[in-house]
Structures are given as C-alpha cells and as structure tokens.
Structure 1
Amino acid sequence: MGVKGFVEGGIASIVAGCSTHPLDLIKVRMQLQGESSAAAAQPALRPALAFQAGAHTVTLPHAPTPVPKPGPIGICTQILRAEGAAGLFSGISATMLRQTLYSTTRMGLYDILKKRWTQENAGVLPLHRKIAAGLIAGGVGAAVGNPADLAMVRMQADGRLPLADRRNYRSVGDAIARMTRDEGVRSLWRGSALTVNRAMIVTASQLATYDQAKEAILARRGPAADGLGTHVAASFAAGIVAAAASNPVDVVKTRVMNMKVAPGAPPPYAGALDCALKTVRSEGVMALYKGFIPTVSRQGPFTVVLFVTLEQVRKVFKDVEF
C-alpha cells in the first residue's frame, strides 16, 4: 500500500508538471515584475511643463506615469522573441526533479494517511482529516524537494535578467552544484519555510477539494458516474481553490528564492515577512496576486492532468501489489 501510492502519484505529477511547464514559467516571470533594479524600477516621467513667469522660466515636473506591465500573452511573446520557443521550457529539468521529489512524496504520503485514517473512521474520512493529511504531506514533500524548487525558480527567471547578470545554469544538476559551491549547502533550502507553507496550503486545498468534490458528485449521481467527466470537474474545482489559496505565498516564495545576495551586502529581503511588507509597500496589496491569471491557467490544467492521469494510472496498477 505504501510504495504503490508514491509510484502512482509520482507518474501523474511528472506528466502534469512537464505538460504545464510553460504556464508555470510565465507565472514566475509575472511574479517578478516590479522587482527589477532601482533604475529599471523608476517609473517613466512625462515631459516637464514649462512656462514663462516674467523673466524667468518655471518648470513644473509632472507626476510619474507608471509603465504598464505586460500580461500573460505579453510575457509569452517576450519570451518567444528573446529566447525562442525553447525559452518556454527553461528549467524543465528542475521541474522534473521537483515533481519526482516533492510531488511524489506528498501524493504518496497523502495516500497513506488517507487510507489509514479512513480505516480508523469506519470507512468515512471527514473533510478536516483530509485537510490535515494534505498539510502533513505537503510540508514533508516541500522539505524534500526544496533544492529542486529553488533551482527551478532561478532557471525560469534567468531569461528576464540582463546577459551580464544571468546565472546560465546548464541543468538542474549544474544549478544545485553551483549553488552548493558558491553559496553553501544551506542555500539549497533558501525560502524553505515559504516552500513548506505554500506546499501545505496547495496540497491541503488541492487534494482535499478533489476528494471532497468527487465524493459529492458520486453521492449525487451514483458510482456509475466515476469517469472522466467527474474527474475533470472535481480536479478543476481543486485547481481553482488551490490557486486562490496559495498565490500570495507563491509570490513571496518566488522573490525570496530568486534574490541575489552580493558578498558582504545585506540581502534584499530579511525573510518572508520582510519581502511581503516591501512588496505591498512599493507595489500595493494586489502585488501578492501577481501572476494569478497564469497561476489559475496553470493550476487548473495541472490539476486536471494530475488527477485524470492519476485515475488512469490507478486502473493500470489496480491488480499490481508493490
């Protein structure tokens, strides 16, 4: 029972992660908007207004005009122009490793806890126990997968930096090796508190919502409805709930993981709370929902592919014991 859940969940997670990687890349690029250097972050100024007052010319500067930021389609177009089609798959090796470590762990552990607690509750698992299972599974999975998650964020963000500032990791292995050499082993768990918090929120909301929605549909329509339509409907609901719950934490996590710390200089952010406060002060509260559209656009398809694939893999391994 134990190993089987990990294998099934791992296969489904890798398929879902690879198929939605470009959407995740666009989400990361959007979340980093407004976090460029001080010079680049300065808003564009309209020409000053000058008028004659006697023998003197008086100049009144106009209020700065914010530069409009591109949306998901604009970001995608920028990537295609600057990096080509291959740019949409920057960091995919890290995505595969992340899904192998993080998602395999969380899916397998959730399956173990769900089955064990269902037996203890006479075959019925209440919603709060599903949420608890998701919180535990997500936290453990995130702790295991943080190095790959960190590498993925950096590889996805690299293309938006000036050429001189890019890290140019060749692969996830090269990224982890260079981070270890240049920043120390502890750097592989930079932002791990955020990763764990986000994973707990995502896993609890995603897996618990899917199970709850699927059970509600089957209770209403009967066991015969346990097919593709039910799986898609339940997983789509789970994707929306998970995206809405996790986006603020995801924005902070992305920025903390991507920050560059110059030798001898203080880091841009002292921690998660400092990052959140600075983001809100400089960009407003809604900055915590940057990338929400691509997050939903990615989380929805990812969750649908994840659970539809998982249900099919379960059928394949139905009579297999390992």
Structure 2
Amino acid sequence: MIELAPSHGGQLRQISERFNIFSSQLIDFSANINPDGPPPAVLSTLRTRLEDVSMLTAYPDLEEVGLKQSIADYAGVHPKQLVVANGFIPLLESALRTLGVKRCLLPVPAFVEYRRSLARAGVEIEPHILSPGSNFRYDIHALVHGGHDAVLLANPQNPSGVLTTRDILLQFVSKCAERNIIVLLDEAFIDYAPLDSLTLDVEQFTNLIVFRSVTKFHGIPGLRVAYAVANEVSARALNETLPPWPITTLASCAVASALADQHFAERTRLHNDQRRAHLRTGLDALSIHAYPSAANFLLLHLPEHISADRFWRQMIVEHHMVLRDCSNYEALPSRHLRMAVRTAEENDKLVGAAAQLLPFCQRSQWA
C-alpha cells in the first residue's frame, strides 16, 4: 500500500513513525513558522499568568475585549471590525454561513482546507486554474467574470508565496463590489508585507472580509489564534455565529504580548528577507527553481528528471529534513515541493543536502 504524505505541514509525529526517526532529529521545513520562535515576552507572560490561579478557574472574557484591542492596535483597525477564533477555518466557515455564499470561485492551487471548508458549507465550487508560467499570479479580470457570488483567495498566495500588490487587489475588490461578489481574502502571511494588506479597507468595501493569522509570524501556532476584519455590520453578524469562548485566557494574554513587540516584527521581516534571498541564490545554483515569494516559504520546481516524491523521501531518510509534499495541491503540476525559510544555518544545510542528492538522482534516472 502506498503511504501518503501528511495533508498538512508540521506533522512530525507522522513522519517520525513512518520513517522510524525520532522527531527531535528532524528539521521541519514543511511548516511555515517563524524559525526564531515567539517574542520573549510571550513565555514570560505565560509564566507570570500561570501564577494566578484565576487564569484557570475563571471563564475567558466572552467578548475578548482585551485581545481585540491588542489586535486593533497592531492592525490599525477598530475593535468592532474584528472577529477572533481558534484558527482560520472557524472564521471562514462562519463567513460562508453568515453571508449565504452559494457559488465560490476558487483559484487553484490553494490551501487544501479552502475546498474542504467550502464543501462542508454546501457551497458550489468553481475552480480557476492559475498558471505556473505567470508565477501563479491572479488575473483580476478573469476572477471577476462568471456565475459566482464569492471569490476565495490568498495574498501572499499559497503555496507559491507570490504577492499581489495592494493597488491591484483594491481594483479587484472594487470590480467585485460592482457585481455583488464577496471577496474572502486570506492574509495569513501578510505580516511579511504589511503595506499590501487590505485590512484598512473593509469599511469602504462592504463585500470584503480579510482573514489574518497571529501564530505563524509570531511563532506560536500551538495557541491557535486567528482573526477576521470586516465592516462593523458584518463583523457583528460573524461574531454571533461563532461558538462562545473560542480563545483561552492564556492564549489571549500571550498573543497580546506578542503583538505589542514591534521590534520583533521589524526584525522578523528583515531576517526573513535576507534568509529567503540567500536561500534562493543557493537553490538557483542547483537549477532548482524557486518562485518569487514574499512570505516565509518558497515553492520549488525540481529539474525535469527528478521525482518530487522520491526527493522528498530521500531528504528525510538521508538528511532528516522534512519538506512539504505538494501532491495534494489541486492543479499543481508535478515536481513541486514547498519549503519554509528557516535559520541561515539550517537553510545552508538544506542546500548542501540537495546538492548531494541531485547527482545521485541524475545517475539513477529517477522519474
């Protein structure tokens, strides 16, 4: 029986069991998490709060006033425009229910949970295939036309990391507004390019809902916090459809401390830009094509004679490095893998490991 790769990144337990390698020995390039870890204040906040037993014995704030204010200060929006939940999927499914979406245009390849969420909500899906030749960029004119009442897309795009500028997206949202099309915009990685976010435009465009993540950029995915930004009317409706107490008190406190560290955010963007550029240079030297990402990951296109599955497995077995298998990305051609941008030392190790594997691939004629 063929063993499939995990459907998401970061699943080291599955990898460990499949390849009989201790998870502590694996370097995880499959999950796009800040490799420097969370801001220092996160751990100190958690330790301090745990000394207060009420953090565990009292219910969380039902309206999450403190958390929403912290997010509002960070994103430059009003707390009444915010909806918070324990991850992106509950927010998306709340929006689909609240807005009564019937038919959604879905540019693919895309995050695999988009299609699953749309299907669970009973939404008819209209796939729109993006071209590798155009670096998976959105054609905003093509995305407007059709019989759909909503479009679900990401910026930066996932899995490519390619960024669509704010000006182009605003043109797109405006065209959609003229046709009563809802724009569901996933900005999970926009913290790496914050000037291109559309969070400030939700009151002007009532057809726009923006989804953002706290945990990836700030290195705290285990706390499960995400938020949506919408006009006040839509935000109120979305809040009413979510189950109560979606965020724990400890997660709320930790996230507030993370968002307050502006120096951490600036340093993270600088380091990521430097590391990603150096990594692309090393991969280019091996004839491994990396698409022009603005995020903390790269989508790789392997040379023609290389099997992505075999390369993925050999990187684990021989070098204990886990890349993101991309075989479950809809409409993504073969020979693609995705990798996170990690520390400079780890990135160099990956390039060195790939350099060792590629000649062997050529001799073995993997296909």
- State the TM-score, normalized to the length of structure 2: 0.23
Larger helix share, 1 or 2: 1
Larger strand share, 1 or 2: 2
- State the TM-score, normalized to the length of structure 1: 0.25
